[in-house]
Structure 1
């Protein structure tokens, strides 16, 4: 078991999300930065969809009751084991009684704790991802426990390797034209391709808003499907980027669609940070 001594700002259990239930209005959920979550699992020789711990802004304090191996990926939060700093993107051995804590946030906003064999909380609709009301809580609570299976063996390739995740902390966001992209004026299309945007204070697991606006409009569409990474345009010209806990349908024009990698990049951005959109050629159809 992992005992949660302190939960941190927003710490939750996630995996690659729950699929097959969007027709019932159930969001995908899952790790916001899917690249870092999958990386942690692959370094541990876990399956990609193994449940990990997503840590946002400030880290938790966690005590391990059994031996295992862990990996920390994503945002840099000065992780320490028994008050001794440990590296990112490296497998670290854990003994019974070890305490993991985190320091000051240095880069990015979300870290991921992978554990050999994964977190073994209950599955709901074939996923361990926390999301209210599908699950009882949205984040872990002080004093709660997270089960895992002890691991005393060795992990193959327990060596230092260079992980290229610098792109997560760049400003470049690659997007494809969405189904309603052609409704934009020529001026707005040029603006999308040649201007920087700023992450608004209105950002969470459901959506990120951008500060700068496009032209006001009276576009409307029949309520249509949306997925994580869909960029909606409101009548006031504000752009809303849907994230992992987003609704499954919406009535605002879907002008852009982030690539999966770019959704991970955006998930590592904080309020006030800049993003530069790069519109690719291929269109996303409805």
Structure 2
């Protein structure tokens, strides 16, 4: 068992997500940075979709009642175990009756903690990913207790360590969305050439990108959207939908992030800059 001594910021349990219910308005959810989540699970011999803990900017402090093996991935935090610094992106043995402090993010913003065997959590609609209104909790709180399997044998191949992700990169790959073709040539050039700044009101539902030379687009009839869809409002607001986003929208879908680009953007904090690298793939990736 693990006890939350302090909760950190926006700490939650996440897995690969909740699929098959978007027609009912249920978002996918899941880890914001899926590649980091999968890395943490691989380090401790878990399946890639086993439940992990996600935390943002400030990690929680945890007390481990039993021995286990953990891995911490994602943004660069400052974890210490019983007062001694420990590395990230490496499997670490945690003795029973130990306290882990995950610290503050110095690079990137989201961290992932995997325990051997995965966190034990109730699945709702096939997923343990927290989402307000679907799961009992939206975030973890001080005093919460979490369970994990004891002495779990693993038949999966494990890796002993992994390379740190470069969170300083600022170019994110996108495809042309269904309404991209309706933008003027000048507007298309602006989207490709401008530098965008992550807004302060960015969260698990959407990232707002601020920019100088405003581009405009018309509203559309309500149409399907998904994580990574870049919406452009008639007022020129640029919104990138993230893992907890709605399932339909009425704004022009001008671009679509690749999966790796969603992971990269999820690690950007307010004030950091990004720019789009538009793929040559045909527009209309969403239907």
Structure 1 length-normalised TM: 0.95
Are 1:91 and 2:91 matched, yes or no? yes
Q: CA deviation at 1:159?
A: 6.8
Contact in 1 for aligned 2:43/2:159 (Cα 8 Å): no
How has the CA–CA distance of structure 1 residues 157 and 221 changed in structure 2, closer, same or farther, with 3 Å as cutoff?
A: closer
- 1:218-229 matches, within 5 Å, as 219-229=218-228
Q: What is aligned with 2:69?
A: 69
RMSD, aligned α-carbons: 1.8
5+ residue gaps, structure 2: none
Determine the C-alpha separation between the residues in 2 that align with 1:92 and 1:116: 10
Note the residue ranges of structure 1 that are not aligned, 5 or more in a row. none
2:40 is equivalent to residue 40 of structure 1? yes
Aligned equivalent of 2:278: 279
Mapped contact 2:43–2:161 kept (Cα < 8 A):
no
Report the more deviating stretch, 224-233 or 186-195: 186-195
Tell me: CA distance 1:219–1:157, structure 2 relative to 1, closer, same or farther (3 Å): closer
Q: SS of the residue aligned with 1:222?
A: strand
Change (3 A) 1:271 1:98: same
2:97 is paired with a residue whose SS is coil
> Following superposition, which runs of at least 4 residues in structure 1 exceed 4 angstroms of deviation?
152-160, 213-216
Are 2:183 and 2:217, in contact at CA under 8 Å, matched by a contact in 1? no
Task: Tell me the distance in 2 between the aligned counterparts of 1:214 and 1:20.
Answer: 39
Give 1:155-194 correspondences, 5 Å limit.
160-163=160-163, 165-166=165-166, 168-194=167-193
1:109 aligns with 2:105: no
Contact 1:214 1:238 in 2 (8 A): no
Is 1:230 the counterpart of 2:229? The answer is yes
TM-score in terms of structure 2 length: 0.94
Q: Classify 1:156/1:21 alpha carbon distance in 2 versus 1 (closer, same or farther; 3 Å).
A: closer
**Residue pair 2:43, 2:160 contacting (<8 A) in 1 also:** no
Quote the offset at 1:217 in angstroms. Answer: 3.7
Residue 15 of structure 2: aligned partner? 15
Offset of 1:68 from its aligned partner?
A: 1.1
Pick closer, same or farther for the CA change 1:157–1:30 going to 2, 3 Å: closer
State the Cα distance separating 1:95 from its structure 2 match: 1.5
